[in-house]
Amino acid sequence: MSRRVTGTEIERMIQLLAKLPGLGPRSARRAALYLINNREKIMAPLASALGDAYEKVSVCSTCGNVDTLNPCTLCQDAARDQSIICVVEEAGDLWALERASATSGLYHVLGGTLSAIEGIRPQDLNIKGLIERADVDTVNEVIIAVNATIDGQTTAHYITEQLKSCNVKVSRLAHGVPVGGELDYLDEGTLAAAIKARRPF
């Protein structure tokens, strides 16, 4: 706002909300008004949830996931398949795979990908921890579930190379037509990969 309309606390709240992904200045104001109109039901619980999360969130020392527990909820879950480690770039990817119930194994969060342009080297990622975990007898398979970007694939190749010393199977996600996707809208690379990896009906 160009002129000062409200007390500083509300201005500050709007400015911070506007920094969240998916919210801009306009939607941050709408969100702030909604919070003000729902002080007891949303504003107070959100303030305390943020405060609690701020106090408690840490990076899991085993897998690199973010959680309020350390080791994280997933690493502590004895019901999960301890023989599989699924490698992802970010905690958000882990959450996405969990929502899909895609694997019942453990995870390993790299914290990014190798990148020549951004100067991210192997030692900047959580790769050493992965090799140590994969070198344990109980682990049979490492699924590399990084993004299908150039940096992601470079990282996948590097990790595969590093894992050769461990006695594990290394696999990657399948390429193909997204479920519900229309061929007409897909790029040539995906279509070629889908044909190449075709399956008997």
Residue 193 token pair: 């990969």
According to the binding rule CB under 8 A, does residue 177 interact with its own copies?
A: no
According to the binding rule CB under 8 A, does residue 20 interact with its own copies?
A: yes
Please identify, using beta-carbon distances, which residue of 3 and 198 lies nearer to its own copies: 3
According to the binding rule CB under 8 A, does residue 8 interact with its own copies?
A: yes
Give the nearest distance from C-beta 31 to its own copies in angstroms: 4
Contacts of 97 (CB under 8 A, 6+ apart): 86, 88, 103, 107, 145
Q: In what order do the strands lie in the sheet with 105-109?
A: 105-109, 81-88, 141-144, 169-172
Strands 66-67 and 58-59 turn out to be: antiparallel
Please identify, using beta-carbon distances, which residue of 54 and 185 lies nearer to its own copies: 54
Q: To which H or E segment does residue 25 belong? A: helix 25-37
According to the binding rule CB under 8 A, does residue 138 interact with its own copies?
A: no
Residue 13 token pair: 């709240």
According to the binding rule CB under 8 A, does residue 30 interact with its own copies?
A: yes
The answer to whether 84 touches 106, Cβ cutoff 8 Å, is yes
C-alpha distances in angstroms, 191 versus 56, 58, 139, 194, 198?
45, 41, 34, 5, 10
Give the nearest distance from C-beta 90 to its own copies in angstroms: 8
According to the binding rule CB under 8 A, does residue 45 interact with its own copies?
A: yes
Please identify, using beta-carbon distances, which residue of 31 and 191 lies nearer to its own copies: 31
The answer to whether 75 touches 58, Cβ cutoff 8 Å, is no
According to the binding rule CB under 8 A, does residue 42 interact with its own copies?
A: yes
Residue 140 token pair: 């049979």
* 63-122: contacts with its own copies (CB under 8 A): 65-69, 72-74, 90-92, 94-95, 98-99, 101
According to the binding rule CB under 8 A, does residue 164 interact with its own copies?
A: no
According to the binding rule CB under 8 A, does residue 178 interact with its own copies?
A: no
Residues that bind its own copies (CB under 8 A): 1-10, 12-13, 16-17, 19-23, 27, 29-31, 33-37, 39, 42-54, 56-57, 65-69, 72-74, 90-92, 94-95, 98-99, 101
